[in-house]
Structure 1
């Protein structure tokens, strides 16, 4: 610091012989050099601390970004796992039904069921690794599934499917609507000796998607009254992974007999972001 201040003085006064100019210049240089020695290290220390804090903030931000990316990948993996748990049992049960039909008749019924299974697979397979399915895809799967079930119990199942045109392009987690319908068939229509009807409706109101699947089957049984079952519990978790906490799933009774399952979640356009 002293040589630096001396050089500064020499440049200012225009001569290297600063001390020869008198005690005023000498004392000024000594005071400046002393202050530089006293204050300079603190300035350097402050700059170093500022640099360290900036580096720490940069590292923290990088860690947060990395953590968010890992969390997103974990959620994607969890969603795919939950989705995979939904799909196989339906395919195996349908193939078992086709085998029974072939053994009994080997004719048109088995051929028609195979046609509906192919239609279902054509709708389902493209969505297996896709997080951006729409209600249009779900409609194709649900209609094919209900046709398969109607062939299995032609005298006991009636159904209607209505999805509002504006809802067809909206995002729906793969197999979500189908899970509602499967639940209605398994717990409502199948156990009923007389069968019943299944009504599927999807509407959009105030930027909210409203899903309603009602059946006129046996209704909520005592053992099911306090539980939404594995299928709907799985569905609730998948919807939460897709839409966060802004999701509602309800299960209730209809009059005079039957069950209604409802879900509500935010509007989100389908297709990749």
Structure 2
């Protein structure tokens, strides 16, 4: 049933023209059987067209007026009833207008009375059924429109929920990274290293550039590489004899988007859980390469490995969730042990450059 709110919806000119065209087509079809018994087919077509216009006028008028109806009365019934009522009245008006002065009333002439009855019955049947079909189609269109609106609203709510989760995860990344880095500086201070002031100055400059990018929620791989280089320089100043690193990046990937600190988290995890606990130190080899339409970021370290370092920390768990929020199930984080010791960490995700990724696709 058509809801009451339809009365408040404006009837556009395009919709009105479409209704007139449909009504005219129905009137022409309905007049075909009558044309075989009608004395003047052109007069029949003209009168059928007038009835069609009156039906459209009544249907459209009752769609918006009265604005409020008693609860038991449905607007659809009012519209169908109005179209059914206007057919005999309009036919009567046509026959009265076509009866000239001095001419006997049409109901006294058998031929004209038969024409009146035939035209009235055809108008009642065609007009009522056309109104019902129009209402059914209108109901279906309204249902599709509401379903689409609900889907869009549900999609927007889901996007907002995922955006909130992403921001929450990102809020956890910044302090985690900051505390880990400050702990490294604190270690230098505790042992009285002469490098501590230089490292602290480098850390201050680094955080000044890094923190705004952490707040953005999304980096490009080019930004990630710059952060990784700055971080490794700091760590190399702290343990120059125990840390070696190399970095290889496919230049075609510098504008590919990824969640903030994606590569940095892997490198930081390799330093903290792999190189730092090792007395001999080790090497970190970073490579970022393209594989078809995907990007593969790999961080290999020769640190103590899983046995001595224990299970992965919260940094990798947070990275795994941020990848899921950004790329859905189209991103992977893989960890594997290396021989004789060390860990290989890989992140694989779509190589997309077009959109910002503060929220996942939907």
Q: How many angstroms apart in 1 are the aligned matches of 2:191 and 2:273?
A: 27
Q: Aligned match of 1:156 in 235, 242, 245?
A: 242
Q: Tell me if the contact between 2:99 and 2:106 (Cα under 8 Å) persists in the aligned partners.
A: no
Gap change, CA 1:110 and 1:271, over 3 Å in 2: farther
Gap change, CA 1:31 and 1:140, over 3 Å in 2: same
Give the corresponding residue for 1:54. Answer: 141
Gap change, CA 1:229 and 1:98, over 3 Å in 2: closer
Report the secondary structure of 1:262's partner residue. Answer: strand
Residues 79-90 of structure 1 mapped to structure 2, 5 A cutoff:
79-90=166-177
Q: Mind listing any 5+ residue stretches in structure 2 that lack a counterpart?
A: 1-86, 358-362
> Higher relative CO (CA 8 A, sep ≥ 6), structure 1 or 2?
1
Q: How many angstroms apart in 2 are the aligned matches of 1:214 and 1:90?
A: 20
Residues 155-194 of structure 1 mapped to structure 2, 5 A cutoff:
155-194=241-280
- Count of matched residue positions in the alignment of Structure 1 and Structure 2: 269
Deviations 1:203-249 (A, max 9, x none): 1131211110000011222995xx65533232122112222222222
Residues 2-41 of structure 1 mapped to structure 2, 5 A cutoff:
2-10=88-96, 15=100, 19=106, 22-41=109-128
Q: Mind listing any 5+ residue stretches in structure 1 that lack a counterpart?
A: none
Instruction: Give 1:105 deviation, angstroms.
Output: 4.0
Give the corresponding residue for 1:91. Answer: 178
Report the secondary structure of 1:210's partner residue. Answer: strand
* Residue 219 (structure 1) aligned with residue 305 (structure 2): yes
Gap change, CA 1:270 and 1:198, over 3 Å in 2: farther
Instruction: Give 1:167 deviation, angstroms.
Output: 1.6
Q: How many angstroms apart in 1 are the aligned matches of 2:239 and 2:256?
A: 32
Give the corresponding residue for 1:74. Answer: 161
Q: Tell me if the contact between 1:132 and 1:270 (Cα under 8 Å) persists in the aligned partners.
A: no
Instruction: Give 1:104 deviation, angstroms.
Output: 5.1
TM score, norm. by length of structure 1 = 0.86
